[in-house]
Structure 1
Amino acid sequence: MNDLLKILFLSFMTMTVNSIFAHSIEICHGWQFKQARGENWYPATVPGTVHTDLLANGIIEDPFVGLNERGVQWVDKEDWVYQTTFNVDEKILKKTNIQIEFEGLDTYADVYLNDSLIIKADNMFRRWNADVRSLLRLENNLLRVYFHSPVKVDMPKWEAIPYHYEAMNDQSQNGGLMDRKISVFARKAGYHYGWDWGPRLVTSGIWRKVYLQAWDGVRITDVHTQQLKVNKYVAQIRQTIEVISDSDYVAAVRTIDTDTNKKYINKKVSLRKGLNRIQLDFSIKNPKLWWSNGLGDPHLYGFKTEVRTDVTSDYKIQKIGVRSLRLLTANDSIGQEFCFELNGIRVFAKGANYIPNDNFLPRVTDDVYQKVINDAVNVNMNMLRVWGGGVYEDDRFYDLCDANGILVWQDFMFACSLYPASGDFLENVRQEAIDNVKRLRNHSCIALWCGNNECQDGWYNWGWKRNYESQNPKYAEKIWKEFEDLFYKTLPDVVEQYSPETCYWPSSPFGGYGHGSNETNGDYHYWSVWHAKKPITEYNNTRFRFCSEYGMQSFPEFESVKLFAGKSSDWDIYSEVMMSHQRGGSHANHLIETYLLNEYHRPKNFESLLYVGQLMQGDAMKTAIESHRREKGYCWGTLFWQINDCWPVASWSTRDYYGRWKAAHYMSRNAFNDVLISPIEKPDGQLHVYIVNDRLKALNGKVSIMILDMNGNEVNRIEKNVCVSANASQDVLNFPVDGTLMALDRKDVVIEASFTCDKVYKNVYYLCPPKDVNFFKPSISSQIVKVGDGYDVVLKTDKVARGVFLSLDGIDNDFTDNYFDLLPFREKVVHIRTPFKEDEIAKQLKITSLADVNKN
């Protein structure tokens, strides 16, 4: 080794070197915008959208409030111009390489620097860059972005073909386009065009950050960290580093641990001018493994990868969770299994589907991302499915999933539609896929890349194939070829080339090629409860290998409704404002009413209806989750639809747009617990008691089944000592129901089930639908005690109180529990974090139970 290399390696071992050869400047100040055919310029925010800039300047009213969405449909028919000026110093101008980089342009955009066209963008999901060294000057650099109306760009494409691509959720009529569903022609978030839970707000804008990047010498453009083999004894790591070099260099390359400064590898390489790929192989003995939430610590290693020559250097730091993760899809005697295996352990996936947090994506803050992930972790979820009608999420989302042990099922951005996947469009998608697979592939949380949401089922099970064939068989043949080229060839090829360690799944749901999905193969979306009006109890009669969608609608609670429907005249679910915030239309409201009246008594007023509707949704999700978990071993996952909203609306979400937990979110916490006791009466007349154990060790404990009357008196008790196998579900106890009620009617009892091991796990079960149970109006007492960052409310009741709901004015209140069943002779403590003082809480605290809201 020559003296230069010795010096380089010595410096690597003794210090951390920041690159002094690169500058990165975010261009985020001084932006203004105007309507392209107008004259007036207004201040703009970048990142941002046209709609939010119009709102900030008082030109439009908040589209999320009242009926205001209708009044902004003109925005997407206009072209818009954004511009700013910026200066640079001589140090930057002297750099050999200067690029401008846009992390996101929405969507059809021409970018000019000092009146020279540098970028023509046509994909919201791609990053765009251009070499600008020859165009840059010291002062008054004019950066201008011309956004073409997506409606005006894509309407001619729709009109040019004799058939039309399915786009069932495109609310073209709300946008004044009649039946012209043009969303499939744009590589843009599908939900912007409307969905059955979202508004039609077709945005334009610089929606992610803009940077000026300047450097000399070498620049690391990518580090792909592959985990070739991982177990508890060793992790074999391969890093492929992409380095752009200005000239030929001899360089030293190394990777170190940022926490311990441990050196994993040093290597001497020869760089050639242009793009270089360097391979580093190293191993970690006895690695700390990354585990999903509930199974262990999601440990992250800090890998700092450096390239250094005698005149230049660069580095990248990554947080990597060392783990093995694969999808098991073997055929068995029943069909095809679908199970994620983490570090050699089969993992039952518990979680939800995730949509974008806002229609205006740039205003999703760090706090919003932190809250949604915390809210997943705090109800014992271990997986979120990033749904294909939204966006490939911000890096902040995946960083939080990595840090919190949340596995991510990642869809490509296609949903409930068919697409013109040929020619330039298909190549555009290929580049989009490369861009995002490379961006996300090092995240430990990424468990799966999925081609689309429900497109294959649409073709085979919803009648699309039949409809096209009846129009013209050649149309069907062409459209299906485009489908195969996109989802069976292009996307899996990208995953195989750029992230071969990650599984690709063609569609969700998917049970095989050549047909639609079914219950015994792969993953399944179950909507017979809700769309087909089957009763909530039907969840108990179903079996799936992995249920990746199911749900029940509810409205937000009253305090949230008042924020978008502020007039008392709006407080009817069929009012014009409430219907505008119910994108399933009157059909969805009728379904809510049908389920509600089948299960509960008619509520006495609007506020009570919102409360009972949430209770109904919670009961439905609890029933479904427990059913799926009881089938553990046959079924390996349950992901309900959905965890969040993009605007205030009636939907299937378990948290409303403002982040308030609905009843279903509170109830899912116990249903997703690592240990679940789940009683269920089966058609044989027996009460079967299941213990579901997600832990990796067997559990010894006592099962106790207490039958209580409505006054809380014990009618009967059955107990049994049991041993539950690790990572399994077991039917540990069963007995005839009627023989244990001691002559009481099943309408007059409640069952409290508990399993005591290292702690006590409980569940409450009723033998009848809520409307048939003889709930008496309870007297619930409360005591308020100042504790830490808020107040403890201590609750007691004299009668069984179903669905106890605590509320205060406004939405800035946080309850550790809500919508729970309170039994006599029990004390319940709920902690509240709130801006209110103790005397205000005492005056305002409202305590509601199911028996309080029935219409006389």
Structure 2
Amino acid sequence: MKDVTQLDQGWALHHAGSRLPAAVPGCVHTDLLAAGLIPDPFLEANETDVAWVSRQDWTYTLDLPDHGTRHERTDLVFEGLDTAATITLGGTELGSTRNMHRGYRFDATGLTGELAVRFTSAYREAERVRALVGDRPNVYPEPFQYIRKMAASFGWDWGPTLPGAGIWRPARIERWSTARLARVRPHTAVNGTTGTVELHLDLERTTTGAARELTATATIGDHTATVAFPVGQDTAVIVLDVPDPALWWPRGYGDQALYDLDVTLADAQGPLDSWHRRVGFRTIELDTSDDEHGSGFTLAVNGVRLFVRGVNWIPDDTLVSRVTPERYRERLTRAAEANVDLVRVWGGGIYEDEAFYDTCDELGLMVWQDFLFACAAYPEEQPLRGEIEAEARENVVRLMPHPSLVLWNGNNENLWGFRDWGWETELASASWGEGYYLGVLPRIVAELDPTRPYTAGSPWSGSWDHHPNDVDHGTHHSWEVWNRQDYAEYRATVPRFVAEFGWQAPPAHATLRRALPTEELATDSPGMLHHQKAEDGNGKLDRGVERHFDLPADFDRWHYLTQVVQARAVAAGIEHWRSHWPRCAGTVVWQLNDCWPVSSWAAIDGDGRLKPLWYELRRVFADRLITLQPTTGDAAPTVALANQAAQPWHTVVTLRRVSADGTTTTTTELPVTVEARSVLRLPVPNALAPTAGSTKEFLAADADDLRAVHFPVPDKRFDYARPEFELTVEPVADDDTALDIVVTAHTLVRDLLLQADRLAPDAVADRGLLTLLAGERARIRVTGAPGIDADTARAALYCVEPA
């Protein structure tokens, strides 16, 4: 049987005559941090102070003595090298690399001594390739499209510029004889009541193994099949049938049934190699057919058409080797708790670790996987073209066992960029990536993973017959609203599928305090500006607030209002688009997470703290949602009830016209039934609708424990009474880490927010923004802040106040 030795101890990092301990997996930045040689680049403006690290060459070394072996072959295996490196062992050069996104295997049979991995600066390698292939446009002044490295490590409008180097994924020695399993590709299918796994096997043999007959056996539970490899044959297919399998479903639609799949390679003397994955049985379809609205983009799993409740995922740390399986699980569990059912792995990041996809399998989070191209024109010449094809082949095969993976996507915004961002003229006739997205990548997916759909890009209308970002065809990115308009403009269109949209806000207060420990916080303080990477980001934040509120001079008030506007903006878009199902078949919010402490579009900030947006996603992505949708002119708003559950929703809608002080003036009740996986739209009776432009009354709609409100005018024009409420703090029985903060409203209290991290850095509240009418009571449970009193709790509470 194959012997495996992990190479995770004893490494050293060398630079300019110095030697220090190195961690593998890891990178130069984390090693330098551990040695105390650089400041934390995530704090204050230290990012600029460590920029020199990315411009240097670095060498990792490890002594590999001769331990002897009974095997014929010794392979040195790297799962990930970042990025341009030359590898030597005992003075013998084994090879070189230029791609972070693939693994490498080198024949090291008979070699011992010092193993050295010499990394060239990513900048130097990128500039070398740019000189070969010629200049191309991109959206940032960094050469990320000339090197197969995480694009976002060169900086983005939410991330720092820290392109590093290192052995960022595990390294090992594999010793084997006769043959090994070089590649295993499982195609899963459901045919009637039978689940089928079609396993495509590729072998690598030694010289002596070439003359032997071998067998491979595949097993799922009690079901087993075997295939023979005659002398001279290195490929085979095994078909396993599983009667009446339990199906894998996205969360909210059923259980996540997973099956252990094992393959063993053997000769007459016994086992040689093995392979193990978990698989699931489900069908996936992407309907892009034409209809009366254009051409759609609707995912169906096991025949059930879905309104996708998605989030975009970026690398969870710019220093990606620090992201552990536990951290993946924490972030993705938060996504599931927010009623998310799809995570899009964005094309400027990485193909994530197996732990990411394993967790998505278990949680029922569908994965939309971008190939790694983003916001740039990518040359199609060598040396990049061969690397890109090898990278795509490797990662399709690596990820295809996961049932959560439902879609391959060719790129992020490059087809759109070619048409709208001046690239077409600037490029003249130079290559820019179209051959990848419309040629190489769909061919690879069709060859290796034909059970999954592929789309050429996001956004993409399906062909050049329509604008790439056409709202009526395929996927759409909605960024004009954040960049230039009020969030109410989300309601102006009904895209077929919104693959990106979002609104910024700063991170939690405790996150800012950790990242900027010496600074008096202000909207324009040096640290706040450094941790705001978007073009005119603070200007857009201010304008977003000013459309609804008077812009406050006080930082804490500004911080609260930007959080409120972010949550309201994203909710406005999702509520509108959900109300137009099935014409609109999904939204994928930009973005779930952050890679460092920064003002951004994220719902979970760089320290893992929940922003009010996260709680709002939990509300608007729930199976059942009630919204009040404004209409044109002076017409009354519409009540929209969305029900994505598998059962009908029988409820009573209570409509209230409410005065500015929070007291109800008129009420009616409407018994309704919303059929399963459908939307019901009802006009608000004119007697209940506030007068158009009224500053003294608003509309509230309740169904079960859900609420929606509609105000006829922006907040700064509404005649709010000064909010009045009582607050008490109550202990929680049998839990000394938790307490309840109970708020009783005497007036209207709109968008009440308890910022739990102001009570204690690790404190968490179970609720986000709340709107209470006069006489109503809310209970907010807080964990991680024991012993606080009512005055302390009140100081952490914010709500909308009169202009």
TM-score, L = length of structure 2 = 0.94
Kindly report which structure 2 residues correspond to 1:50-449, keeping only aligned pairs within 5 A, or say none. 50-87=28-65, 89-90=67-68, 93-136=69-112, 141-159=113-131, 164-170=135-141, 181-231=142-192, 233-245=193-205, 246-257=209-220, 261-262=221-222, 264-272=223-231, 276-313=234-271, 314-449=273-408
Contact 1:461 1:516 in 2 (8 A): no
The whole-number CA distance in structure 2 between the counterparts of 1:451 and 1:457 is 12
Aligned partner letter, 1:255: A
State the Cα distance separating 1:522 from its structure 2 match. 0.3
What do residues 465-513 of structure 1 show as CA deviations (whole Å, max 9, x unaligned)? Answer: 13x2xxxxxx52222xx52322211111111111111111111100133
Q: Which residue of 2 aligns with 1:695?
A: 645
Contact 2:727 2:741 in 1 (8 A): no
Contact 2:284 2:299 in 1 (8 A): yes
Of 559, 581, 593, 2:531 maps to 581
Q: Which residue of 2 aligns with 1:723?
A: 673
What do residues 212-260 of structure 1 show as CA deviations (whole Å, max 9, x unaligned)? Answer: 11123443333322123345x2223212233344244455543333xxx
Of 504, 512, 518, 2:454 maps to 504
The 3 A distance-change label for structure 1 pair 779 and 761 is closer
Unpaired runs of at least 5, structure 1: 1-20, 171-180, 469-474
The whole-number CA distance in structure 1 between the counterparts of 2:782 and 2:95 is 52
Contact 1:688 1:735 in 2 (8 A): no
The whole-number CA distance in structure 1 between the counterparts of 2:102 and 2:479 is 34
State the Cα distance separating 1:48 from its structure 2 match. 1.0
Q: Which residue of 2 aligns with 1:813?
A: 763
The whole-number CA distance in structure 1 between the counterparts of 2:370 and 2:37 is 36
The whole-number CA distance in structure 1 between the counterparts of 2:384 and 2:374 is 16
State the Cα distance separating 1:297 from its structure 2 match. 1.0
The whole-number CA distance in structure 1 between the counterparts of 2:11 and 2:230 is 40
Q: Secondary structure at the match of 1:142?
A: strand
Q: Which residue of 2 aligns with 1:557?
A: 508
Q: Which residue of 2 aligns with 1:800?
A: 748
Contact 2:79 2:102 in 1 (8 A): yes
The 3 A distance-change label for structure 1 pair 251 and 798 is same
What do residues 360-407 of structure 1 show as CA deviations (whole Å, max 9, x unaligned)? Answer: 001112222111101110010101111111111111111111111111
Q: Which residue of 2 aligns with 1:472?
A: none
Contact 1:548 1:638 in 2 (8 A): yes
Contact 2:503 2:601 in 1 (8 A): yes
What do residues 45-90 of structure 1 show as CA deviations (whole Å, max 9, x unaligned)? Answer: 1111111111211111111111111111111221111111244643
Q: Secondary structure at the match of 2:159?
A: coil
Q: Secondary structure at the match of 1:369?
A: helix
Q: Which residue of 2 aligns with 1:18?
A: none
TM-score, L = length of structure 1 = 0.89
Kindly report which structure 2 residues correspond to 1:515-664, keeping only aligned pairs within 5 A, or say none. 515-531=467-483, 533-569=484-520, 571-585=521-535, 587-664=536-613
Q: Secondary structure at the match of 1:41?
A: strand
Q: Which residue of 2 aligns with 1:12?
A: none
Aligned partner letter, 2:34: A
Aligned partner letter, 1:229: V
Q: Secondary structure at the match of 1:74?
A: helix
The whole-number CA distance in structure 1 between the counterparts of 2:95 and 2:642 is 55
State the Cα distance separating 1:661 from its structure 2 match. 1.1
The whole-number CA distance in structure 1 between the counterparts of 2:73 and 2:343 is 40
Q: Which residue of 2 aligns with 1:174?
A: none
The whole-number CA distance in structure 2 between the counterparts of 1:477 and 1:398 is 39
Q: Secondary structure at the match of 1:219?
A: strand
Contact 2:293 2:583 in 1 (8 A): no
Q: Secondary structure at the match of 1:603?
A: coil
The 3 A distance-change label for structure 1 pair 308 and 393 is same
The 3 A distance-change label for structure 1 pair 700 and 840 is closer
Q: Which residue of 1 aligns with 2:711?
A: 766
What do residues 801-848 of structure 1 show as CA deviations (whole Å, max 9, x unaligned)? Answer: 2222223344311221123223333332222221x4324787466342
Contact 1:216 1:312 in 2 (8 A): no
State the Cα distance separating 1:774 from its structure 2 match. 3.0
The whole-number CA distance in structure 2 between the counterparts of 1:320 and 1:710 is 56
Contact 2:759 2:792 in 1 (8 A): no
Aligned partner letter, 2:150: A
Aligned partner letter, 2:72: T
Q: Secondary structure at the match of 1:63?
A: coil
The whole-number CA distance in structure 1 between the counterparts of 2:161 and 2:3 is 40
Q: Which residue of 2 aligns with 1:27?
A: 7
The whole-number CA distance in structure 2 between the counterparts of 1:463 and 1:388 is 21
Q: Matched residue pairs, number? A: 791
Aligned partner letter, 2:701: A
Q: Secondary structure at the match of 1:599?
A: coil
The whole-number CA distance in structure 2 between the counterparts of 1:602 and 1:848 is 19
Contact 1:217 1:312 in 2 (8 A): no
Report the more deviating stretch, 212-221 or 398-407: 212-221
The whole-number CA distance in structure 2 between the counterparts of 1:337 and 1:411 is 20
Q: Secondary structure at the match of 1:607?
A: helix
Q: Which residue of 1 aligns with 2:775?
A: 825
Report the more deviating stretch, 281-290 or 606-615: 281-290
Q: Secondary structure at the match of 2:684?
A: strand
The whole-number CA distance in structure 2 between the counterparts of 1:143 and 1:842 is 62
The 3 A distance-change label for structure 1 pair 417 and 270 is closer
Of 605, 616, 626, 1:677 maps to 626
The whole-number CA distance in structure 1 between the counterparts of 2:677 and 2:369 is 25
State the Cα distance separating 1:268 from its structure 2 match. 4.8
Aligned partner letter, 1:501: T
State the Cα distance separating 1:312 from its structure 2 match. 2.5
Q: Secondary structure at the match of 1:751?
A: strand
Q: Which residue of 1 aligns with 2:728?
A: 782
Contact 2:636 2:683 in 1 (8 A): no
The whole-number CA distance in structure 2 between the counterparts of 1:817 and 1:272 is 65
State the Cα distance separating 1:359 from its structure 2 match. 0.8
The whole-number CA distance in structure 2 between the counterparts of 1:243 and 1:711 is 75
State the Cα distance separating 1:210 from its structure 2 match. 0.4
The 3 A distance-change label for structure 1 pair 520 and 839 is closer
The whole-number CA distance in structure 2 between the counterparts of 1:627 and 1:441 is 34
